[in-house]
Amino acid sequence: MIKDTLVEALGIEITHIEKGKVIAAMPVDERTKQPFGLLHGGASVALAETVASVGAYELVDKETEGVAGLEINANHVRPKTEGVVTAVGTVLHQGKSTMVWDIKITDEQDRLICVSRCTMAVIKLKK
């Protein structure tokens, strides 16, 4: 599912999946930096939504339901110029039609880089 997607292009690697929690890593390199050499806020948001999307998908009935991002916000609290960032997403609310995920992105020293909240829509699939 990841081949030829934004997830692959940004080098995002899902490292852990369990019910209600997903962890992923992303390099801070030429693919994910903005022109001034800092981690691009959009790359952080893409990482956050990836974690929320994978996590939400793991919580639905895959035969009858899908998921899609409905809303996302992010606060970028620390710059990052190289290395790897890790996103940990946990479900805050799991409803029938929406889920809310909390995502914290940290550096190798466990310092907060970005905090995000993502609302996922649970979509009924047509048969």
Q: Supply the DSSP symbol for 79.
A: -
**Catalytic residue numbers, as ranges:** 49
Contacts of 39 (CB under 8 A, 6+ apart): 28, 32, 33, 79, 80, 81, 85, 113
